[in-house]
Amino acid sequence: MSADPRLDLRIEAGIARLTIRRPDKLNALDAEMVEALLPLCRRIERSDARVVILTGEGGRSFCAGGDIAAWSQLSPEDFSRRWLRDGHAAFDALTRLAQPVIAVLNGHCLGGGLELAACADYRLAEAHVRIGLPETSLGIIPGWSGTQRAVRRFGAGPVRRMALFGEVFGADEAQRLGLVDRVVPTGEGMAAAKALAAQVIARAPRATEITKMLINAAEGEERERVLEALAGSVAAASDDLREGLAAFREKRSARFGEMGSSRA
């Protein structure tokens, strides 16, 4: 469960299923939901889940983005300090999960909803889905990395068409443009996601995690952290570390040169 019941997390049989449950508001996110997303990502990261499925409740909307009634009442300072920063922290955490993330777009995916979907490693769209970035029509910008991560993942062309010219794409056109990876018939998104999840679970877990980190780094996502994490894992597996810790505990000088295997 979650601190916010509108974000439902269930972990079972190696799959973490995260569902936005606010269908009466088209699964739009308010400030409390955004704040609750970050600790949920930490729970997933530390769990035994091997893959994540992200979706919205109902068939009308995967996520309609930020709740206009929520953010439009904020002062400019709160909008910047809380809404945008909290959103970036949560979306960054979702993007950087060790586990591959599959987004099931089982309804329309607009504004912050597309920015949320861009955090996933694979996007499944049901046939009725519409995708767009309408923020500039409201006098605001795509603020949760819609001009940054979305461009890195989808290319500048389709992002320009949505954000600057107001184009809204259907599922098939979105697939052609690379916004989604696969289109399935309406109602079949979750079944397709579970089949994909089974493919992930069948693969080597550590190799999968490292490969995702390397792909993220190649995209410019958390490059410094990836480099240090991978280097740290190599050092942690070495005899040098074991000797260094033993020397510290025994209050003696480390004898690295005598270990030999650290240079193998």
Q: Is 228 one of the catalytic residues?
A: no
Quote the DSSP letter at residue 196: H
- pLDDT score of 183 more than 80: yes
Q: Which of 35, 57, 77, 115 is catalytic?
A: 115
Helices (H), 103-155: 112-117, 149-154
Identify the active-site residue in 57, 135, 221, 243. Answer: 135
The answer, yes or no, to whether residue 188 has pLDDT greater than 90, is yes
Pick from 27, 160, 19, 153: which is nearest to 169 by CA? 160
Q: pLDDT tens digits for 213-260?
A: 999 999 887 766 667 777 777 777 788 878 877 887 889 888 887 644
Could you please state the CATH topology (level 3) that the domain comprising 7-201 is classified under. 2-enoyl-CoA Hydratase; Chain A, domain 1 (3.90.226)
Listed by start position, the domains of the chain span: 7-201, 222-263
Between CA 109 and CA 130 the distance in angstroms is 6
Catalytic residue check, 135: yes
Is there a contact between 123 and 105 (Cβ–Cβ < 8 Å)? Answer: yes
Give the pLDDT band of residue 21 (cuts 50, 70, 90).
very high
Angle at 61 between CA 123 and CA 33, to 5 degrees: 90
Tens of pLDDT, residue by residue over 31-72, are 899 999 999 999 999 999 999 999 999 999 999 999 888 888
Helix (H, G, I), strand (E, B) or coil at 64: coil
Question: Taking the model in full, what pTM does it have?
Answer: 0.88
Q: Which residue has the higher pLDDT, 249 or 131?
A: 131
Residue 82 is predicted with a pLDDT of 79
Q: Residue 53 forms beta bridges with which residues?
A: 17, 102
